[in-house]
Amino acid sequence: MDVHLIGGGWDDALAPTLYGPFVEAAARRAGGTPRILLVVMGTDPESLEYHEKYVHTLGLVGGHDLVVERVSEGTPLEPAVLDGIDGLFVGGGPTPEYHASLAGSYHRIRALVSAGVPYAGFSAGAAIAGSHAVVGGWLLDGRPVCPEDSNEELDDVAVVGGIGLVPGAVDVHAAQWGNVSRLVAVVAAGLAPSGVAIDEGTLLRSDGAVAGAGRVWHVTPDTATPGGALVRARAGGQ
């Protein structure tokens, strides 16, 4: 599978680094100019303004035809929009809403990516890509595991079944929002077998390559210490 996970954040200078590999993969799939589907959440004016950031950023890379699918919160993604695409980009916003709207299409997305369609996930789009999706929350067993501002309007940490494009859980805005500790708590509690937390401005590809301005934090269980977890950080080129 060709999967590109971005931890969030906006920086025009990083656009070729973060999004170029995805567009190139889609072009290889198409054998020419690819048709890329951008799925974003919300149809209110504020959401529409936010969506333009994706159009702008992907436009800096160029070399593709972009189709934008704006999904109303609480509405399932229409499966037909996935027909005939060469690449799928799922944007950011309220992670629980992305999960609720796209869950019915997870099997179709997984089949497309298995067949060679590249997937890119930004923030929420990255968080739902794993076999286990951390959709929000800041308390585990009643104790804080990350800043409350990271809660996605949930109190208890919620881990649900994700698309299954990569093993384990994915958390995002890692260093910027203090979410590394949430992923550590999730893995230590056995809610996910392992996971990665991705900094803003940082890309993790399914081949393990890291690029961009930050780090990817790999979290695995500490088999020598019950209830423990091990953390390893990697930056681009490491």
Per-domain boundaries in the chain: 3-235
DSSP H or E segment with residue 204: strand 202-205
Give the per-residue pLDDT at 238.
72
pTM of this structure = 0.96
Give the rounded percent of residues in the chain with a pLDDT score beyond 90: 96
Judged by DSSP in three states, 130 sits in: strand
Mean pLDDT over the full length of the chain: 97
Give the per-residue pLDDT at 225.
87
Residue 206 phi/psi, 5-degree rounding, is -65, -15
- List Cβ neighbours of 234 (8 Å cut-off, separation of 6 or more): 210, 215, 216, 218
| CATH among 3.40.50.880, 3.40.50.2300, 3.40.50.300, 1.10.3720.10 for 3-235 | 3.40.50.880
- For residue 154, the tally of other CB atoms under 10 A from its CB is 15
Q: What is the C-alpha separation between 139 and 236, in angstroms, rounded?
A: 31
Q: Residue 235: which pLDDT band, with cuts at 50, 70 and 90?
A: very high
Give the per-residue pLDDT at 23.
99
Residue at 67: amino acid letter:
V
Give the per-residue pLDDT at 186.
98
- List Cβ neighbours of 130 (8 Å cut-off, separation of 6 or more): 162, 163, 164, 165, 166, 167, 168, 169, 170, 192, 195
